[in-house]
């Protein structure tokens, strides 16, 4: 059950229509998870500074069980997410940062329990 959060200083009007759904589908393909299990949040128009600059930027936070736990996995994921984000947001790669967080099944609640028991 991946959680993908895109935060950007770009105003909502500059984001492509349907970005959240496109990001959901891209994350599913990149992480090898069904789209029905991917959770996406897009936050736009945020006051942000990246690398000391307030120029338009974005950060992507990717949390998941089992697929973001190694440097090798995340190197591949990073390249594919950067390809998607630079194309969709019109930002250079230097204005985007990605943070990966591995999760354990007991850290995600669903259906009145945690994923460990589902």
Nearest Cα neighbor of 49 from 100, 9, 101, 81 is 9
Across all residues in the chain, what is the average pLDDT? 97
For 2-117, CATH number out of 3.90.1150.10, 3.40.50.720, 1.10.10.10, 3.30.429.10 equals: 3.30.429.10
pLDDT at residue 47, as a whole number: 98
The CA–CA distances, whole Å, from 20 to 72, 73, 98 equal 26, 23, 17
Active site residue 2: yes
13-62 pLDDT tens trace: 999 999 999 999 999 999 999 999 999 999 999 999 999 999 999 999 99
User: Mean pLDDT, to the nearest integer, of 82-92?
Assistant: 98
């Amino acid at each position: 059950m991946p959680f993908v959060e895109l935060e950007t200083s770009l105003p909502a009007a500059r984001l492509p229509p349907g970005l959240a759904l496109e990001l959901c589908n891209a994350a599913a393909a990149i992480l090898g998870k069904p789209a029905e299990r991917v959770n996406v949040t897009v936050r736009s128009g945020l006051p942000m500074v990246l690398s000391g600059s307030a120029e338009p930027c974005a950060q992507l936070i990717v949390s998941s069980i089992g697929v973001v736990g190694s440097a090798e996995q995340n190197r591949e994921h990073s390249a594919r997410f950067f390809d998607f984000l630079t194309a969709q947001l019109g930002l250079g790669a230097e204005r985007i940062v990605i943070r990966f967080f591995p999760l354990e099944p007991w850290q995600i609640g669903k259906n009145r329990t945690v994923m460990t028991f589902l």
